[in-house]
């Protein structure tokens, strides 16, 4: 049975859009996919002419598709942007080696400059070394905390105007759920923003904010894009895993759930009388932090002192532990 493309272009449909349920031919799907991101960029005022944009490139599907689409749109609609790829090498044997290969291929294919920064360079510790020290239970904490700052540091070095990350609609919806589950209203508020700006840090934006993960896979599949698809080889966080499964269940029941959750996030706000954590800068490294000493420095301190559990649990506990150490300020890291 052949089904016609719902745009009435005359061609046969080859796919059903996960987001809207419409049947489309390959060409019309590419158009729809790219136009939607174009409209997200224009409506969200994500870029200015002449901006230098760092694309956070992990080699995974989101960032690979982001690089491809930004390059296409930049040329097609004369954004006037300078695009660069920024990669972080966590130093995970068998995971990052392979994914960085993909990034290198992207660099050649899209002819974009690429900067790779390693945890070893930035922190003196690769993830392999960290795992050897802390085991596999908490290593994703390190991985996540270090990556967040690594992108900021890399972007500073490259002197860019904005970092574009590959977060898609599923990621945002999942994060809304996660922040409700862990009671983090400050993040709940921030996570639906399409641009996040913090004083002293380079703004970040999410051009794929309204793009469904399934459609990203579809786009990569039909464009035959090369991406690295292995999940992080360390055990994923159980809690986030549950939230992800939950979101998939909701999407199956009602495909619009992902957008409905983002809509919820966009229409909620924090009551005036709720105390919010103050965001200042870390006294050690100068990067954004809600504590005197940022999480990255805290974790690093633990590693360097041979107390890797430090900083994993509640911050107050870590602060106490840190205070009990002899003159922690004199330490260099």
Interface residue with another protein, options 115, 214, 240, 309 (CB under 8 A): 240
CB 59, CB 85: distance < 8 Å: no
Report yes or no: 243 and 257 within 8 Å, Cβ to Cβ. Answer: no
285 makes contact, choosing from another protein, Zn ion, none, with CB < 5 to 8 Å by partner type, with Zn ion
Q: Which positions from 281 through 310 interact with another protein, judged by CB under 8 A?
A: 295
Indicate the annotated binding residues for ATP.
56-58, 62, 88, 166, 171
Task: Draw the binding track, 50-89, toward another protein (x: CB under 8 A; -: no contact).
Answer: --------x-x-x---------------------------
Using CB under 8 A as the binding rule, whether residue 250 contacts another protein is answered as: yes
- Cβ atoms of 113 and 131 closer than 8 Å: no
Report which of 120, 47, 59 is spatially closest to residue 86, judged by C-alpha positions. 59
Q: 36 to 75, contacts with Zn ion by CB under 5 A?
A: none
Minimum distance between the CB of residue 50 and Zn ion, rounded to whole angstroms?
Answer: 32
**Three-state secondary structure call for residue 205:** strand
E strands of 77-185, at which residues?
Answer: 82-89, 114-118, 162-164
Residue with tokens 């793009």: 211
Closer residue to Zn ion in complex, CB, 116/281: 281
Q: Which does 297 bind (CB under 5 to 8 A by kind): Zn ion, another protein, none?
A: Zn ion
Q: Interacting stretch for Zn ion, rule CB under 5 A, among 24-32, 79-87, 93-101, 159-167?
A: 24-32
Q: Interface with another protein includes 267 (CB under 8 A)?
A: yes
**Member of 201, 297, 299, 312 binding Zn ion (CB under 5 A):** 297
Whether 311 and 299 have beta carbons less than 8 Å apart is answered as: yes
301 three-class SS? helix
- Minimum Å gap between C-beta 13 and Zn ion is 7
Residue 272 to residue 267: CA distance in whole angstroms: 15
Select the residue interacting with another protein from 239, 286, 320, 329 (CB under 8 A).
Answer: 239
| Smallest separation, CB 230 to Zn ion (Å) | 12
The SS3 assignment for 62 reads helix
Binding-site residues from annotation? 56-58, 62, 88, 166, 171
333 binds another protein (CB under 8 A): no
Tokens 């908490």 locate to 138
CA distance 71 to 225: 14
For 235, the token pair is 């055990």
Parallel, antiparallel, or unpaired for β 195-196 and 204-205? Answer: antiparallel
Residue 120 to residue 90: CA distance in whole angstroms: 8
Per-position x/- string for 128-147, each x denoting binding to Zn ion as judged by CB under 5 A, each - no binding? ------------x--x----
Which class for 27: exposed (0-12), middle (13-18), buried (19 or more C-beta within 10 A)? middle
Q: Which two tokens stand for residue 303?
A: 């590693």
How far apart CA 68 and CA 47 sit, in angstroms, is 17
Q: How many residues interact with another protein (rule CB under 8 A)? A: 87
Residue corresponding to tokens 């995971």: 95
Site residues for another protein, 140-199, by CB under 8 A, read 140-141, 143-145, 147-148, 151, 165, 167, 171, 175-185, 187-188, 191, 194
Q: Which of 270, 320, 329, 333 binds another protein (CB under 8 A)?
A: 270
* Contact assessment for residue 46 and residue 194, using Cβ atoms and an 8 Å cutoff: yes
Binding to Zn ion in span 211-270, by CB under 5 A:
232, 234
271 lies in the site for another protein, by CB under 8 A: yes
For Zn ion, which is the closer residue by CB, 9 or 195?
9
CB of 333 to Zn ion, least distance (A): 9
What is the binding site for Zn ion (CB under 5 A)? 5, 7, 9, 11, 25, 28, 140, 143, 232, 234, 282, 284-285, 294, 297
């Amino acid at each position: 049975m052949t089904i016609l493309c719902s745009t009435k272009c005359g061609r046969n449909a080859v796919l059903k859009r996960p987001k809207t349920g419409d049947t489309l031919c390959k060409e019309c799907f590419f158009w729809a996919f790219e136009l939607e991101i174009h409209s997200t960029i224009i409506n969200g005022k994500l870029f200015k002419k002449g901006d230098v944009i760092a694309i956070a490139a992990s080699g995974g599907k989101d960032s690979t598709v982001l690089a491809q689409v930004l390059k296409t749109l930049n040329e097609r609609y004369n954004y006037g942007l300078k695009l660069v790829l920024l990669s972080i090498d966590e130093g995970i044997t068998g995971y990052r080696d392979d994914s960085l290969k993909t990034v290198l291929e992207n660099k050649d294919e899209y002819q974009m400059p690429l900067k790779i920064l390693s945890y070893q360079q930035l922190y003196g510790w690769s993830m392999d070394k960290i795992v050897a020290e802390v085991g596999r239970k908490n290593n994703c904490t390190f991985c996540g905390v270090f990556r967040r700052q690594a992108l900021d540091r890399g972007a500073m070095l490259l002197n860019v105007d904005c970092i574009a990350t590959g977060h898609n609609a599923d990621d945002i919806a999942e994060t809304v759920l996660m922040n409700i589950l862990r009671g983090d209203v400050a993040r709940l508020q921030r996570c639906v923003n399409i641009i996040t700006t913090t004083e002293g840090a380079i703004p970040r934006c999410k051009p794929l904010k309204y793009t469904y993960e399934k459609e990203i896979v579809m786009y990569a599949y039909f464009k035959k894009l090369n991406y690295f698809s292995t999940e992080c080889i360390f055990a994923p966080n159980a809690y986030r895993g549950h939230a992800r499964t939950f979101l998939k269940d909701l999407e199956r029941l009602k495909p619009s759930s992902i957008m409905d959750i983002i809509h919820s996030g966009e229409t909620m706000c924090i009551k005036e009388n709720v105390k919010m954590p103050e965001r200042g800068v870390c006294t050690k490294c100068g990067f954004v932090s809600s504590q005197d000493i940022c999480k990255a420095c805290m974790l690093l301190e633990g590693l360097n002192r041979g107390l890797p559990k430090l900083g994993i649990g509640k911050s107050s506990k870590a602060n106490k532990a840190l205070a009990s150490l002899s003159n922690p300020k004199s330490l260099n890291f």
